[in-house]
Amino acid sequence: DVKVTQSSRYLVKRTGEKVFLECVQDMDHENMFWYRQDPGLGLRLIYFSYDVKMKEKGDIPEGYSVSREKKERFSLILESASTNQTSMYLCASSLLGLEKLFFGSGTQLSVL
């Protein structure tokens, strides 16, 4: 089975801190995605990557950046965390473009 592992299930950070959310997949997938999930808003795409060192902005990239130095790892970076970035963050990967995304269990980030 494909496994997408997010480094932390729960994370509490302070306003202004630099935050790293890590995601690792074990199936040699080319494509990786970061979504943010908020009640009543569904899943919103932050960034995605179709290759190592490649990144594309999604619908809500402001305040975030990403890093993909290795194929299996896709990191989401909050340069200066703010309270409105308190949310559930979901990482996903896929072998074939948009088909069959495999999601991690999510990281619930609280910014105080």
Partner 1 sequence: GENVEQHPSTLSVQEGDSAVIKCTYSDSASNYFPWYKQELGKGPQLIIDIRSNVGEKKDQRIAVTLNKTAKHFSLHITETQPEDSAVYFCAASGQAGTALIFGKGTTLSVSS
- Using CB under 8 A as the criterion, which residues of the chain lie in contact with partner 1 when the complex forms? 4, 33, 35, 40-45, 48, 50, 56, 58-59, 90, 92, 97-101, 103-106
Cβ 14 to partner 1 shortest distance, Å: 26
Listed in order, strand segments (DSSP E) in the chain are: 4-6, 10-13, 19-21, 23-25, 31-38, 42-49, 56-57, 64-70, 73-78, 87-94, 102-103, 107-111
Cβ 90 to partner 1 shortest distance, Å: 6
Q: Are 88 and 24 in contact (CB under 8 A)?
A: no
Cβ 63 to partner 1 shortest distance, Å: 19
Q: Are 91 and 20 in contact (CB under 8 A)?
A: no
Closest CB to partner 1 among residues 33, 74: 33
Q: Which residues share a beta bridge with 99?
A: 96
Closest CB to partner 1 among residues 13, 44: 44
Closest CB to partner 1 among residues 17, 59: 59
Closest CB to partner 1 among residues 52, 80: 52
